[in-house]
Amino acid sequence: MADEPEEEGEGEAEDEAGDDGEVKSGVLAAVDDVAGKASQAEREVAAEEEKIANEDEEAAEKQEGAAKFAERIHERILGEVKEVKEVEDIEDRDARKLRVG
């Protein structure tokens, strides 16, 4: 009988150790879950950053295209203005010749 309380104590110690193991594995699972959520959040942030960078690049390309279009239009308008000016100069010269002549 003297051994019985000692054996009972060992059984409780094993039970407690078993509980600690369950708690520890539960904590580790929770840590893994938090780590997994953090890495998922990091991936989502990286994907969003890449999306924004691509949108910025597309916007820059559109802006560049608009600038080139405006430049071509401007050159065309300037060319037409230059042609009109040349025609006016010719008309003025002809009108002077008629007055002198």
Report the C-alpha gap between 27 and 43 in whole angstroms.
24
Mean pLDDT comparison of 1-5, 31-35, 44-48, 92-96, highest-scoring range: 44-48
Q: What is the pLDDT of residue 101?
A: 61
pLDDT classification of 5: cutoffs 50, 70, 90:
low
21-77: pLDDT as tens digits: 555 666 666 666 666 777 888 899 999 999 999 999 999 999 999 999 999 999 999
The helix/strand/coil state of 49 is helix
The helix/strand/coil state of 2 is coil
Tokens of 93: 């010269």
Average pLDDT over residues 11-21: 53
Average pLDDT over residues 1-26: 54
Exposure b/e, 69-84, CB count within 10 A at least 16 = b: eeeeeeeeeeeeeeee
In eight-state DSSP terms, residue 1 is -
Give me the residue label for tokens 């080139």.
68
Write out the H or E segment, with its range, that includes residue 31. helix 3-100
Q: What is the pLDDT of residue 70?
A: 94
46: exposed, middle or buried (Cβ count in 10 Å: 0-12, 13-18, 19+): exposed
Stated pTM of the model: 0.40
Q: What is the pLDDT of residue 82?
A: 87
Q: What is the pLDDT of residue 98?
A: 82
